[in-house]
Chains A and B, each alone.
Chain A
Amino acid sequence: MEALIALEVFAAGTMATLILGLLSKWVDRKVTARVQYRRGPPLLQPLYDVLKLLGKETMVPAAARGTGFLLAPLAGFAAVALGGSILWYSILVPGGAFVGDLIVVVYLLTIPSLAVIVGGMSSGNLYGAIGASREMKLMVSYELPLIVALVTVLVGAKVGSLRLGDLLAYQRAAGPTALRVSGAVALVVAVLCVQAKLGLVPFDIPEAETEIMGGPLVEYSGAPLALFYLMRAMLLAVLPLLLIVVFLGGVAAQWPGVLWGAAKYLALMVVIILVRNTNARLRIDHAVRFYWWILTPTALVALALAFVGL
């Protein structure tokens, strides 16, 4: 019985994440178009893209390692779907999910980057290998500040629990954690880390269409590429949602409150998209230096502030 409920939650959560992800992808492309004084693609464009990719021939290069090449997108997709489901569950069911679900979500959301690395390495393409190595360096850079930022919130809020539901309940009583000094600093750090996690400019160094032709994805076509596309779209939904749950008080599940939640989500999305549209791509060593010598100390300062009680 419990397994059945878990399966239903997973299916519903995946669908919700999928729909929200494709919508976010459209918002991303539309806002980008408006920034450039264009009209941009129609609402269903991401759906058309996915359908088209699913209908295309799937090619596995002769030099590729077939198993890893085809399993990597599946693993990435499944991890984001599961992470998204846990997030939705803790938002919709007060006190839901399980102890330590924050840790599980954070770990699940690193799997997409690992999937990209495995896919790029097993594609047998030089550009794929370069992209995978850059993705690895980027991961080593942004994971530490992101986790320190999340820990800052836990320390500052004194929730005494790693359950997302408890964090939400605390914020409902005491206001969003981003209103504290330490929380606000941590939010800025986390948004910049999410930018890299999403693979958006200025941190799209692993993909870099103009220099390494899509990096790890260079050899992908058809259904596996569609899975990567969906994985990226779902990350675009899940990561801002995680930030909202941890920093901005979550999304209320009743009628007028849900609009406020949607406004928070859209505002966060627009910030991410505007950063993407007003910056140029960094070099990988610049990005590593930025995360290690600017963002990590900032996150540590926020952590110290949280310990002091600010």
Chain B
Amino acid sequence: MSWRIWALTKSPWVYHVNVGACNNCDIEVLELLTPRFDVERFGIVLVGSPRHADALLVSGICTRQAAPRLQELYRQTPAPRVVFCIGSCACSRGIFHDAYHVAEAGPVDAVIRAVDPAATIVYVPGCPPKPEAMILGIVKALAALKGGTPAERAA
């Protein structure tokens, strides 16, 4: 594992992206960042700009209008970076599966993979996932990252 990834797992700064969620996941994400759950213990801090971020917390089905914006946000995030799909919609589109307004590329992971096929993507299912579930997802993702990103494992 490179020292870059090690340092990343010690201080993941997150940026919150909504690409067509019903706001329920967003409320839970905000709850995750409240003093009650104290994610600063793990060095997690909410930042205001994707340039400062290491992880994108993406919620929502990824609508047709949001897809290019999500791709742009991903490109603006400096590497190494991680994408978290928060909630059933971001993971698989959930109840909006065959809706008319979803992005043609597919759900969030497909839209991201269209930009970067080797992207590191983490799935946290739930409608919405509890903050505890998100913490578990983050901890598992960090543990997996310590084994190297998929791109590094492939190389």
**Alpha-carbon gap, A210 to B49, bound state (A):** 10
- Contact B52–A214 (Cβ < 8 Å): yes
Given contacts A48-B10, A56-B4, A221-B52, 15 further A-B contacts (CB under 8 A): A29-B40, A33-B38, A36-B35, A38-B41, A39-B38, A41-B43, A45-B10, A45-B11, A48-B11, A49-B11, A51-B3, A59-B78, A210-B48, A219-B49, A221-B51
The answer to whether B48 touches A48 (Cβ under 8 A) is no
Which residues of A approach B to under 8 Å, CB–CB? 29, 33, 36-42, 45, 48-49, 51-52, 54-59, 209-210, 213-214, 217-222, 225
Query: Roughly how many angstroms separate A224 CA and B10 CA in the complex, as a whole number?
Result: 20
Residues of A contacting B47 in the complex (Cβ-Cβ under 8 angstroms): 209, 214
Specify which of B48, B79, B80 lies most central, judged by the most chain A CB atoms within 10 Å of its CB: B48
* Size bracket, chain B contacts: 20 to 34
User: Contact between B35 and A56 (Cβ–Cβ < 8 Å)?
Assistant: no
Nearest-neighbor residue (CB-CB) of B53 within chain A: A221
CA gap between A219 and B52 in the complex, in Å = 8
- A214-B48, A218-B51, A222-B78 as given contacts; A55 in contact with B4, CB under 8 Å: yes
**Are A219 and B40 in touch, CB under 8 angstroms?**
no
Complex contact B49–A218 (CB within 8 A): yes
Nearest CB of chain A from residue B50's CB, rounded to whole Å: 9
C-alpha spacing A56/B77, complex, angstroms: 10
* 0 or 1 for each of B32-50: is its CB under 8 Å from A? (1 = yes): 0001001011010001110
Question: Closest chain A residue to B50 by CB distance?
Answer: A221
Please tell me if B95 contacts chain A, counting CB pairs below 8 Å: no
Which residues does chain A contribute within 8 Å of B4, judged by CB atoms? 52, 55-56
Given contacts A33-B38, A48-B43, whether A219 and B51 have CB atoms under 8 Å apart is yes
The reply to whether A57 and B8 contact each other, CB–CB distance below 8 Å, is: no
8 A-B contacts, Cβ less than 8 Å apart?
Answer: A33-B38, A41-B41, A48-B11, A49-B11, A55-B4, A218-B49, A218-B51, A220-B51
B76 to chain A, nearest CB (A): 7
Q: Does B7 interact with chain A (Cβ within 8 Å)?
A: yes
B38 engages A38 (CB within 8 Å) = yes
Check B48 against A213 for contact (C-beta < 8 Å): yes
Instruction: Across the interface, name the chain A residue whose C-beta is closest to B35.
Output: A36
Query: Which chain A residues lie closer than 8 Å to B54 at the CB level?
Result: 52, 56
Which residues of chain B in 12-44 are interfacial with respect to chain A, using CB atoms and an 8 Å cutoff? 35, 38, 40-41, 43
- A45 and B43 contact, Cβ closer than 8 Å, known pairs A51-B7, A52-B8, A55-B7: yes
Residue of B nearest to A33 (CB): B40
Among A52, A55, A57, A213, the residue within 8 A (CB) of B49 is: A213
Give CA–CA (A210, B48) in the complex, Å: 7
Docked-complex contact B8 and A55, CB < 8 angstroms: yes
Which residues from chain B contact A33 at a C-beta distance below 8 Å? 35, 38, 40
Q: Using Cβ atoms and an 8 Å threshold, which residues of chain A touch B40? A: 29, 33, 38, 40-41
Complex CA gap A209/B16 in Å reads 13
Cβ of A39 and Cβ of B52 under 8 Å apart?
Answer: no
Chain A residues positioned under 8 Å from B48 (CB to CB): 209-210, 213-214, 218
